[in-house]
């Protein structure tokens, strides 16, 4: 009974205040730095695509509304607080019906950059997080994993740490 009450209390507190993980997506654990999987990212609009030949992956670069609006207005250096960029990454595969076409194969991971100059000041104004595979396992053993992200993105510090250049559309 004591166990039951404890579980009930946790459930009630959880539903009233929302835990870090449940607020965005209750089925997916938060990253070790506390960032939760952005809600609805699969419905975000696309701003670019990429084929990385060094690790054989195909990517769709998507953004939340704030990011897409900023991208279309060219207001990306710096990106506005609240902008989130997402990379959907698949292993590169060959189109079975068109041999010279490289297309998405197995899903690798979804990774995100969340802009908040103050909140994420320690990591260059961006919060980083990545979820691996179809099981969406958070990347990193502890919060220090983000230093790896920052190190890789530092060469594009002059572009507000972002590699992606929004693709041009009419």
CB of 122 to a copy of itself, least distance (A): 23
CB of 62 to a copy of itself, least distance (A): 7
Which listed residue (60, 117, 143, 150) binds a copy of itself by CB under 8 A? Answer: 60
* Sequential DSSP letters for 151-164: HHHGGGGGGTT---
151 binds a copy of itself (CB under 8 A): no
**CA distances (Å), 87 to each of 2, 37, 38, 131, in order?**
45, 12, 12, 11
Residues 162, 76: contact at Cβ < 8 Å?
yes
CB of 78 to a copy of itself, least distance (A): 17
| Binders in 80-139 for a copy of itself, by CB under 8 A | 88, 90, 95, 97-98, 100-104, 106-107, 110, 131, 133-136
Look at strands 45-52 and 126-132 and give their pairing: unpaired
Q: How many CB atoms lie within 10 A of CB 53?
A: 9
CB of 126 to a copy of itself, least distance (A): 16
Q: How many Å apart are CA 161 and CA 112, to the nearest integer?
A: 13
- Contact residues toward a copy of itself (CB under 8 A) are 42-46, 48-54, 58-60, 62, 88, 90, 95, 97-98, 100-104, 106-107, 110, 131, 133-136, 155-156, 159, 163, 165, 167-170
């Amino acid at each position: 009974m004591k166990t039951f009450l404890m579980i009930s209390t946790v459930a009630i507190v959880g539903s009233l205040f929302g835990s870090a993980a449940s607020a965005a997506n209750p089925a997916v654990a938060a990253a070790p730095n506390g960032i939760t999987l952005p809600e609805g990212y699969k419905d975000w609009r696309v701003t670019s695509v990429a084929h990385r030949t060094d690790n054989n992956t195909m990517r769709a670069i998507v953004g939340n509304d704030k990011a897409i609006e900023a991208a279309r207005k060219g207001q990306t250096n710096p990106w506005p607080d609240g902008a989130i960029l997402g990379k959907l990454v698949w292993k590169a595969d060959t189109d079975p019906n068109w041999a010279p076409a490289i297309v998405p194969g197995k899903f690798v991971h979804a990774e995100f950059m969340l802009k908040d100059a103050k909140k994420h000041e320690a990591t260059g104004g961006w919060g980083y997080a990545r979820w691996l595979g179809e099981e969406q396992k958070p990347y990193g053993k502890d919060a220090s994993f983000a230093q790896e992200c920052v190190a890789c993105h530092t060469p594009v510090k002059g572009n507000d740490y972002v590699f992606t250049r929004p693709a041009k559309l009419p």
